[in-house]
């Protein structure tokens, strides 16, 4: 089993979601929970972006000891100096530098030639290494960059002392096959690539962030980046709970391990949702309200007989108390009877049948039948002669 490091950027890329703004106390609470979850690297923020973010990163670096704490910086000296002030109290000071490498970004955003970009990247890494033992350098928009340019710039930043190289799919454009092939190519063509960790960072614009992340691991990535609940710019980042649970559940195909404490997943997801104010979609994989809910009669009957018929993840794995049998218009007699018994009703077959008919009539009019609804129906039948 190869160990994959998990880099959480909920507090940086996740906070870049439109509508999220966390204060220092909220960021610290989330960081402590991420530490409990077993995250290897926590990106606490972007220290040079605001006074508030500087303070939050500083506080987190001073408090969190079991995870490495990092902060984002542009490839400019003042960002690096400010980040050092924020991060120097950490157990293992780590800086995350980034610079775009795709023709589209270099031409239109940076307005720099490829040669100038190489020089800026190397200078920034050299400057960061004066302070930080650990320097991650990200080739922003790597998935739309020229592969041979990536080889050239990676050779140079490794020589300058980078310890991790991150290759983001910044705009969520890559397919799993393309993203995996990029890692394989760089692994085979960059000099001294074994001196650095390779990291994957995927956005979800085409809904492929988790699949792309796993493709990167299969092709040599040592670290994967993402956020809790998939928060992040535009359509978000790879949801770490999805990546970690997929690696765990499909160990038969993916022979990779992580430090993730799975039973902390639900609690972490809830905390992040509560403090960011971003609701979790009911159908969201792993942590959605419906991820362990069964509504149709056929599924309920199967799950009541043997959970693995329709559950590939146990609710307990992620710290959820149990699955949910939801009574609605597709539900069957088996689930209805079980629920009646759980509510303390013991009706004979005839009364139970009548109650079931009354339940179906009501279910046609309502999305979900509550325990109160059932109580009324069952009491009514129990007291009828």
Contact set with ligand KIV (CB under 6 A) = 13, 98, 138, 140, 166, 168, 170, 201, 203
Spell out the residues 6+ positions from residue 67 whose beta carbon is closer than 8 angstroms to its own.
31, 34, 35, 39, 40, 41, 42
Q: Shortest distance, CB of residue 58 to ligand KIV, whole angstroms?
A: 20
Spatial distance between the Cα atoms of 55 and 75, rounded to a whole number of angstroms? 21
Q: Which is nearer to Zn ion, 12 or 329 (CB)?
A: 12
Q: Shortest distance, CB of residue 138 to ligand KIV, whole angstroms?
A: 4
Spatial distance between the Cα atoms of 23 and 91, rounded to a whole number of angstroms? 23
Q: Is-contact 124 99, C-beta < 8 A?
A: yes
Q: Is 330 annotated as a binding residue?
A: no
Q: Is-contact 80 95, C-beta < 8 A?
A: yes
Q: Which does 67 bind (CB under 5 to 8 A by kind): Zn ion, ligand KIV, none?
A: none
Q: Is 255 annotated as a binding residue?
A: no
Q: Which does 45 bind (CB under 5 to 8 A by kind): ligand KIV, Zn ion, none?
A: none
Q: Is 373 annotated as a binding residue?
A: no
Q: Which is nearer to Zn ion, 153 or 171 (CB)?
A: 171
Q: Which is nearer to ligand KIV, 171 or 327 (CB)?
A: 171
Spell out the residues 6+ positions from residue 29 whose beta carbon is closer than 8 angstroms to its own.
271, 275
Q: Shortest distance, CB of residue 191 to ligand KIV, whole angstroms?
A: 23
Judged by CB under 5 A, the stretch of 5-13, 108-116, 340-348, 351-359 that binds Zn ion is 5-13
Q: Shortest distance, CB of residue 375 to ligand KIV, whole angstroms?
A: 51
322 CB neighbour count, 10 Å cutoff: 10
Q: Shortest distance, CB of residue 357 to ligand KIV, whole angstroms?
A: 56
Q: Which is nearer to ligand KIV, 138 or 331 (CB)?
A: 138
Q: Which is nearer to Zn ion, 227 or 300 (CB)?
A: 227
Q: Which does 269 bind (CB under 5 to 8 A by kind): Zn ion, ligand KIV, none?
A: none
Give the distance between the most distant pair of CA atoms in the chain.
Answer: 90
Q: Shortest distance, CB of residue 30 to Zn ion, whole angstroms?
A: 18
Q: Does 13 bind Zn ion (CB under 5 A)?
A: yes
Q: Is 96 annotated as a binding residue?
A: no
Q: Which is nearer to Zn ion, 45 or 297 (CB)?
A: 45
Q: Which does 46 bind (CB under 5 to 8 A by kind): Zn ion, ligand KIV, none?
A: none
- Positions 209 through 238 that interact with Zn ion (CB under 5 A): none
HSE-up (13 A, CA, CB side) for residue 211: 12
Collapse the DSSP code of 367 into the 3-class scheme (helix H, G, I; strand E, B; otherwise coil) and give the result: coil
Q: Shortest distance, CB of residue 140 to Zn ion, whole angstroms?
A: 8
HSE-up (13 A, CA, CB side) for residue 95: 32
Extended beta strands in the chain, E state: 2-3, 5-8, 41-43, 68-74, 94-100, 134-140, 164-169, 197-202, 223-226, 256-257, 293-294, 324-325
Q: What DSSP string describes 76-127?
A: SHHHHHHHHHHHTTSSS-EEEEEEE-SHHHIIIII---HHHHHHHHHHHHHH
Task: Please state the residue numbers annotated as binding site for Mn(2+).
Answer: 13, 201, 203, 237
Q: Residues forming the annotated binding site?
A: 13, 201, 203, 237
Binding residues for Zn ion (CB under 5 A): 13
């Amino acid at each position: 089993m190869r160990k994959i490091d998990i880099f959480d950027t909920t507090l940086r890329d996740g906070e870049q979601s439109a509508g999220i703004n966390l204060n220092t106390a909220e960021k610290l609470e989330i960081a402590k929970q991420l530490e409990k979850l077993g995250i290897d690297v926590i990106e606490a923020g972007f220290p040079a972006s605001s006074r508030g973010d500087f303070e939050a990163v500083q506080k987190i670096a001073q408090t969190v000891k079991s995870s490495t704490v990092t902060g984002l910086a542009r490839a400019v000296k003042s960002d690096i100096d400010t980040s050092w002030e924020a991060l120097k109290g950490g157990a293992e000071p780590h800086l995350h530098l980034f610079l775009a490498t795709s023709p589209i970004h270099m031409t239109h955003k940076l307005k720099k030639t490829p040669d100038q970009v190489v020089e800026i990247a190397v200078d920034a890494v050299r400057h960061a290494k004066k302070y930080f033992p650990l320097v991650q350098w990200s080739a922003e928009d790597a998935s739309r960059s020229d592969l041979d340019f990536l080889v050239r710039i990676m050779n140079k930043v490794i020589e300058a002392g980078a310890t991790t190289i991150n290759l983001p799919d910044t705009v969520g454009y890559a397919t799993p096959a393309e993203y995996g092939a990029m890692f394989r190519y760089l692994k085979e063509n960059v000099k001294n690539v074994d001196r650095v960790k390779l990291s994957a960072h995927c956005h979800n614009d085409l809904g492929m962030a988790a699949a792309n992340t796993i493709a990167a691991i299969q092709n040599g990535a040592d670290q994967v980046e993402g956020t809790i609940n998939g928060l992040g710019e535009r359509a978000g980042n790879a949801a770490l709970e999805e990546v970690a649970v997929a690696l765990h559940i499909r160990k038969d195909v993916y022979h990779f391990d992580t430090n993730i404490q799975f039973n902390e997943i639900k609690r972490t997801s809830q905390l992040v949702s509560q403090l960011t104010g971003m609701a979790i979609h009911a159908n969201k994989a792993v942590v959605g309200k419906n991820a362990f809910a069964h509504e149709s009669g056929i599924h309920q009957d199967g799950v009541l007989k043997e959970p693995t018929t329709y559950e590939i993840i146990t609710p307990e794995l992620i710290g959820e108390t149990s699955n949910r049998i939801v009574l609605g218009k597709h539900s069957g007699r088996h689930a209805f009877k079980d629920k009646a018994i759980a509510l303390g009703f013991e009706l004979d077959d005839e009364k139970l049948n009548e109650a079931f008919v009354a339940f179906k009539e009501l279910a046609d009019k309502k999305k979900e039948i509550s325990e109160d609804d059932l109580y009324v129906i069952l009491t009514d039948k129990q007291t009828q002669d």
